[in-house]
Amino acid sequence: MRHFPEIQLSAAAARVLGCLLEKEAVTPDHYPMTLNALVAACNQTTSRHPVTDYRGTDIEQALLELSEEYLVSKCLGGRAAKYEHNLPDVLALSDGERAVLTVLLLRGTQTAGELKQRTDRMHAFASLAEVEEILAGFIEYPHGPLVERLPAGGGRRVETFRHLLGGGDDVEAEPLSAQAEAADWRQSVEQRLAALEAEVSRLRGGE
């Protein structure tokens, strides 16, 4: 069996793996997943980038690709075939590491702050530093980097991160959208306002 960084997944296979990881964590009652459920999960219009329109045949091919890499197996029994991931057999991850990798697989290039916010349903990080520590560990993974750091510049106002497990989507290399940048700006302003309100309350309390 090869080391995980040596495995390069197609865009559909990366999306399927991300969906299996996500649904196991957030909707365990619906995991393992049928083919139809995977098609729907892969083509969600929320929590996905880019939004896709995969067909059943596309997902079947992705499942075959993942099974050949020992990343997915079919569950026997029941009226419809179901599928589950075998990621722990290939790559040992903590809950936090798995959450970060899952969101990178599903949503492409992101900032550390976006990753902290978007992993909340799978793992609650106490601080941004915890996310940054995981990203650093992925970048310095002993058998080869799992994640790449994209420094600010070239249209990116802040540094971002993307996984290196394949997918081949050029959209992942694009700078942050105006909507994402606006969200970061609003979050920063809200944090500053909250800090000012707390300081005003403290000063009034000392009067």
Q: Give the residue ranges of DSSP H helices in 27-169.
A: 35-42, 56-68, 87-90, 95-107, 112-118, 128-139
pLDDT at residue 198 in the model:
73
**pLDDT tens column, 102-141:** 999 999 999 999 999 999 999 999 999 999 999 999 999 9
Q: Which CATH number fits domain 4-90: 1.20.200.10, 1.10.10.10, 2.120.10.30, 2.70.70.10?
A: 1.10.10.10
The mean of the pLDDT values for the chain is: 87
pTM reported for the whole predicted model: 0.79
Bigger pLDDT: 183 vs 201: 201
Examine domains 4-90 and 95-205 and report if their fold is the same.
Answer: yes
CA distance 140 to 144: 7
User: Domain-by-domain residue ranges, the chain?
Assistant: 4-90, 95-205
Average pLDDT of the residues in 34-48: 97
Domain 95-205 has CATH 1.10.10.10: yes
Q: Give the residue ranges of DSSP H helices in the chain.
A: 11-26, 35-42, 56-68, 87-90, 95-107, 112-118, 128-139, 178-205
